[in-house]
Amino acid sequence: MATSGTWKLRRYGRLIPASGKIAERESWKIFEAKKNEPEIIGMILDSGYFMVLQGQECLETIPLIGAGDVLKIHQKSENLLLRNTVKGSGRVIRMQFDGRNKAQAIKECSSAAERLREYLPVNIVDDDALPPNNQPPTDVPAPATQTCPQQGEAAEAEPEVVQGSLSIKRLAQNLLGEKPLMLPGFYRHASSEPEDLDTFVRVCLLDPSFPALVEQVEVELRKILEE
């Protein structure tokens, strides 16, 4: 199970929805790291999943690839709050990162947030925007997007940094060099070993029909741009 990051969690919680009875309300199920129990670990897999484990038990599995429309992530101090909404049904997850002190815990949380940004946006919220761990969260306002001013042609030439999944047309524009993009992490994960890729490229170059195939691929890419 290849990972691109692993972090210790002090506390993990998920909001349990009410069963529909009038007397019941939503409540939090909390898992806390304790000395006599296995550590709670958060990890991002190279396959594009965020997992939370306690020993051999999997507490949470969150798909990240293409989740930008349904998964919202907010960071406040050493905490991550995740809201997953599918077909009108929402799930709320909260993670508090561990460290020798609060400064290190914030650093660990920021490290995880940075890895998550390879897949989708992570919003930074004010200290008072998230609720205490024993209370249901309220709506967290997303911060306003700040746009850096461009400075001449040099700024325009820099590739656009994108997050989340991309359309076929935008990928085609990137491959043709028309609109260079800084692709999210999961577009840069090769499924083949470098040695296998080297052999494959050499075999392709030895094929007399390969140059014509490359030209045909470019023609098809430009057809996609015209759609």
Question: Does 184 map to a domain?
Answer: yes
Question: Does 203 map to a domain?
Answer: yes
48 plus 102 within the same structural domain? yes
Question: Does 147 map to a domain?
Answer: no
- Helix (H, G, I), strand (E, B), or coil: what is residue 145? coil
Distance in angstroms (rounded) separating the CA atoms of residues 95 and 8: 10
69 plus 8 within the same structural domain? yes
At residue 206, the pLDDT reads 75
- Give the chain's mean pLDDT: 75
52 plus 158 within the same structural domain? no
Question: Does 132 map to a domain?
Answer: no
Contact 31, 59 (CB under 8 A): yes
Contact 80, 95 (CB under 8 A): yes
Question: Does residue 112 surpass a pLDDT of 90?
Answer: yes
Segment 72-100 shows an average pLDDT of 87
What's the Cα-to-Cα distance from 216 to each of 177, 210, 211, 212, rounded to whole Å? 17, 10, 9, 6
Return the CATH number at 8.
2.30.29
pLDDT band for position 146 (cuts 50, 70, 90): very low
115 plus 198 within the same structural domain? no
Of 104, 124, 144, the residue at which a domain comes to its end is 124
Distance in angstroms (rounded) separating the CA atoms of residues 109 and 107: 5
Segment 108-119 shows an average pLDDT of 92
18 plus 118 within the same structural domain? yes
Of 124, 140, 160, the residue at which a domain comes to its end is 124
12 plus 77 within the same structural domain? yes
Question: Does residue 188 surpass a pLDDT of 70?
Answer: no
More confident residue, 93 or 215: 93
More confident residue, 32 or 187: 32
Say what the pTM is: 0.56
Q: In total, how many domains does the chain have?
A: 2
Domain that holds residue 107: 3-124
At residue 150, the pLDDT reads 47
Question: Does residue 19 surpass a pLDDT of 80?
Answer: no
Distance in angstroms (rounded) separating the CA atoms of residues 147 and 72: 21
At residue 187, the pLDDT reads 58
120 plus 170 within the same structural domain? no
At residue 178, the pLDDT reads 72
Question: Does residue 25 surpass a pLDDT of 90?
Answer: no
Phi and psi angles of residue 166, each rounded to the nearest 5 degrees, phi first = -125, 155
112 plus 14 within the same structural domain? yes
pLDDT band for position 134 (cuts 50, 70, 90): very low
At residue 161, the pLDDT reads 61
